[in-house]
Chains A and B, each alone.
Chain A
Amino acid sequence: MAAPVANPSVTASALREQLQGAGYLADEALVTSAWLAQALQRPLLLEGDAGVGKTALAAALAHSQGAQLVRLQCHEGLDLAQAAYEWNYGRQLMAIRLAEGGEQRLKESDLFSREYLLERPLLQAISSERACVLLIDEIDRADEAFEAFLLEVLSEYQITVPELGTLRARQVPQVLLTSNGTRELSDALRRRCLYHYLDYPTLAREIAIVKAALPEADTALVEEAVQFVQRLRREDLAKTPGIAETLDWVRALHRLHPQALPEDMSALLLTLGCLLKTREDRFMLTAERSRQLIEGRRSVGVAEKA
């Protein structure tokens, strides 16, 4: 059966502007993917290194469209009771006790009604009356069994509760799944989703992102700092700094040296804790190497290129 093509209220270019208004500067490809996911009512699977803005996209989408953001943070051992629904046993027991004292007989169907159902994120998103963005974050951390359960939710937008029947979405939520690639996801899950690989932003885009997030920071400082980070990403690092790290670093620099990057490398090295998160990376980035990166020199083996 053919998937429906919804008529999204906004065009792709309008969506881009909305995201920009929410502080998220997306490129055309990403906006097209997000818009298409809305139009085809398909989940969007976002992959990419940590810190490139996967989770932030969901928050920005929800904010820009005035939708409710429902977030499910995946982890090992995540089960149905934590992700979809759970019966409120305490309330059920209390209802039974109260009914024992009264005259009214309590039927089983009374106890297993929506009133006694605790809605977890997936069910919350399905049963939401208003527009909703469902973020299933770091799906690769969840078990394969949970992934299999998600298939029904993601393809039919429904959850089957044995005692109640099948609960269908009142309004199809926009679903975003993120993965850092720590585990290979199943083909079945991938085929149900549109896919977008989110890479690190280009120099111009990252400068724009930082300027949008920190308008008070000096332009020269932002440009120098972002250039440094872009060059640093080309180094052989154990943990490549993402956009969040760039923002942290520029924020720190702005407080310490508001005009430009410090000339004194030892002062600069003190702030690099915002960018480099492993001991090996800190060890690798010496004062000399930092200076080379600032000046835009690139070393190749023992030789050095201007």
Chain B
Amino acid sequence: MNTLQQAIPLSERLAGFAALLREHGMKVGPAEQRDMLQAAIALGSLKLRTLDAAWRAIACSNARDWRQWPAVFEQYWLPHRIKGTVKVSGQTRPRRDLRSQVSQMHESMAGDSAPGANAHRASQASADQAGQADSDFNTLQRAQGGASLSVPDALHERSGQMWLPQELHALTQLARQIHQQLQPQATRRWQTHPQGRRLDLRQTLRRSVAHGGLPLAPAWQRKRTRPPQLFVLVDVSRSMESHAAFFLRVARALAQAAGARVFVFHVQLAEVTPLMKSDSATVQEKINAVTAGFGAGTRIAANLTAFARHHARAQLGRHARVWLMSDGFDTDEPAQLAQALQLLRGHGARLTWFHPTRQAPTSLAVRQSRALVERFIPLASLADLARAKPFLH
């Protein structure tokens, strides 16, 4: 059985451990440190296994902390057990070898004549540069005999597909905050509430029974409110290949935290809300299955029309918010997009367009229907979402 070594006083080692826990997002202050020390004294033994369980109960305050505890504990108290382990999220960055770069160059040359091709190139340029830089860096490292190493971006700025647990947690928190600030809409129903301004006569009479018929404790009512219905439509076409994973992550967070209905579209529209709400390991497999066959042209207008006429017809009202995540490349006739958006607006829904590029989409279809979109918001990273939060109300 492992025991704590006493070379350094326990209180000092605990302070270092608490600092490490704080680095991992756990809320461990002086009070918790004191409790941990008291627990060690109360347990009367310095057996690591016992202390592990006791300190875990003190330092963790939610399921996320609970899950990451074993790794952090081992890292600090049993560093000799840790061998060079690598954790991966299961998703890989797109390869940027010479062959893929050449084929991409051919594609971009062929696509020059396509509408909005310039904007497309602009959106891809930064990703290409990043990929190139990575490739060069890794080649250099290998040439020097070093291990393969990647330079980590600032976590909250990274737009790629590798997600760390703390980033997922931050995304969930952000989605929750956005949901909280969505202005609730009053319904026609009333509910009992101590700060209400309308007398709840029925409840007041019921309560007066306890006072011999005297209405000493009046009950009050206020309008029942509910948050607006949120629809998230994610473009998963080929032009969105490098951004769709991020948008799907955001959509998933919104589905879980804000009860949003999520649709993916390309040449067809499909609802994936049940998959987004499920928190199982196979969910990505299922989403892939739903989106199989996607990856050709994009029909934004046709899909928006189908969305308004069939999929969300009953819920599209003035309380509805439609968040469209797309780069704006549409293979439908440009005028059709304006008609589709007009149809959405006709139901009273408000549309916000999230685009992966810094500039709003400049395709002809989008330019013609710009007035029907309430707001264009750039969204390529978690930091972008945090910056957009004040506008999403």
User: What is the total of A-B residue contacts with beta carbons within 8 Å?
Assistant: 83
Smallest CB gap from A39: residue in B:
B42
- For A28, list chain B residues within 8 Å (CB): 49-50, 53
Indicate if the CB atoms of A194 and B57 lie closer than 8 Å.
yes
| Complexed CA–CA distance, A5 and B35 (Å) | 9
Q: Is A82 an interface residue (CB 8 A)?
A: no
Q: B residues within 8 Å of A by Cβ? A: 27, 31, 34-35, 38-39, 41-43, 49-50, 52-54, 56-58, 60-63, 65-67, 176, 192, 210-212, 216, 278, 280-283, 285
Interface readout for A153-171 with B: 1 if CB under 8 Å, 0 if not?
0000000000000000000
Indicate if the CB atoms of B192 and A77 lie closer than 8 Å.
yes
A32-B57, A184-B176 known; A195+B42 contact, CB < 8 A: no
Interface readout for A43-76 with B: 1 if CB under 8 Å, 0 if not?
0100100000000000000000000000000000
Cβ contacts A to B, 11 pairs, < 8 Å: A2-B38, A29-B56, A32-B57, A36-B58, A40-B35, A47-B63, A77-B192, A93-B212, A190-B27, A191-B31, A195-B65
Indicate if the CB atoms of B27 and A191 lie closer than 8 Å.
yes
Indicate if the CB atoms of B62 and A236 lie closer than 8 Å.
no
Shortest C-beta distance, B189 to chain A (Å), equals 15
Indicate if the CB atoms of B212 and A90 lie closer than 8 Å.
yes
Indicate if the CB atoms of A197 and B42 lie closer than 8 Å.
no
Near B by CB (< 8 A), chain A positions 168-217 give 181, 184, 187, 190-191, 193-197
Question: In the complex, given contacts A47-B62, A184-B176, A197-B60, what are 16 additional A-B residue pairs having Cβ atoms less than 8 angstroms apart?
Answer: A3-B34, A5-B41, A12-B50, A29-B56, A32-B43, A33-B57, A36-B39, A36-B43, A37-B57, A40-B39, A42-B35, A77-B192, A191-B31, A196-B57, A236-B282, A301-B285
Indicate if the CB atoms of B66 and A12 lie closer than 8 Å.
no
Indicate if the CB atoms of B38 and A3 lie closer than 8 Å.
yes
Q: Is A149 an interface residue (CB 8 A)?
A: no
- For B35, list chain A residues within 8 Å (CB): 3, 40, 42
Indicate if the CB atoms of B38 and A89 lie closer than 8 Å.
no
Indicate if the CB atoms of A89 and B62 lie closer than 8 Å.
no
* Residue tally, chain A, CB below 8 Å to B: 32
| Complexed CA–CA distance, A36 and B58 (Å) | 9
A89-B211, A184-B176 known; A2+B34 contact, CB < 8 A: yes
Q: Which of B39, B60, B211 contacts A195 (CB 8 A)?
A: B60
Indicate if the CB atoms of A187 and B61 lie closer than 8 Å.
yes
| Complexed CA–CA distance, A3 and B58 (Å) | 13
Smallest CB gap from A36: residue in B:
B54
Indicate if the CB atoms of B60 and A236 lie closer than 8 Å.
no
Indicate if the CB atoms of A195 and B57 lie closer than 8 Å.
yes
- For B43, list chain A residues within 8 Å (CB): 12, 32, 36
| Complexed CA–CA distance, A77 and B192 (Å) | 9
Smallest CB gap from B63: residue in A:
A197
Shortest C-beta distance, A91 to chain B (Å), equals 10
Indicate if the CB atoms of B50 and A32 lie closer than 8 Å.
yes
| Complexed CA–CA distance, A40 and B58 (Å) | 10
Shortest C-beta distance, A296 to chain B (Å), equals 19
Q: Which of B52, B56, B62, B280 contacts A190 (CB 8 A)?
A: B62
Interface readout for A1-42 with B: 1 if CB under 8 Å, 0 if not?
011010000001000000000000000110011001101101
Shortest C-beta distance, B164 to chain A (Å), equals 20
- For B31, list chain A residues within 8 Å (CB): 191
Indicate if the CB atoms of A236 and B211 lie closer than 8 Å.
no
| Complexed CA–CA distance, A208 and B366 (Å) | 64
| Complexed CA–CA distance, A56 and B162 (Å) | 40
Q: Which of B27, B38, B63, B216 contacts A40 (CB 8 A)?
A: B38
A2-B34, A5-B38, A93-B212 known; A191+B53 contact, CB < 8 A: no
| Complexed CA–CA distance, A33 and B50 (Å) | 10
| Complexed CA–CA distance, A196 and B55 (Å) | 11
Smallest CB gap from A181: residue in B:
B63
Which of A42, A191, A236, A301 is packed against the most chain B CB atoms within 10 Å? A236
Smallest CB gap from A184: residue in B:
B176
Smallest CB gap from A42: residue in B:
B35
| Complexed CA–CA distance, A18 and B392 (Å) | 54
| Complexed CA–CA distance, A280 and B122 (Å) | 45
Indicate if the CB atoms of B212 and A89 lie closer than 8 Å.
yes
- For B58, list chain A residues within 8 Å (CB): 36, 194-195
Indicate if the CB atoms of B61 and A36 lie closer than 8 Å.
no
Indicate if the CB atoms of B42 and A90 lie closer than 8 Å.
no
Smallest CB gap from A197: residue in B:
B66
Indicate if the CB atoms of A195 and B280 lie closer than 8 Å.
no
| Complexed CA–CA distance, A236 and B285 (Å) | 11
Indicate if the CB atoms of B280 and A236 lie closer than 8 Å.
yes
| Complexed CA–CA distance, A93 and B211 (Å) | 7
Smallest CB gap from A237: residue in B:
B280
What 5 A-B pairs have minimum CB-CB distances, sorted nearest first? A32-B53, A29-B53, A33-B57, A197-B66, A190-B61
Smallest CB gap from B50: residue in A:
A32
Smallest CB gap from A33: residue in B:
B57
- For B53, list chain A residues within 8 Å (CB): 28-29, 32-33
| Complexed CA–CA distance, A238 and B58 (Å) | 32
- For A39, list chain B residues within 8 Å (CB): 39, 42
Which of B35, B57, B65 is packed against the most chain A CB atoms within 10 Å? B57
| Complexed CA–CA distance, A268 and B376 (Å) | 56
A2-B34, A40-B38, A236-B280 known; A187+B57 contact, CB < 8 A: no
| Complexed CA–CA distance, A93 and B35 (Å) | 49
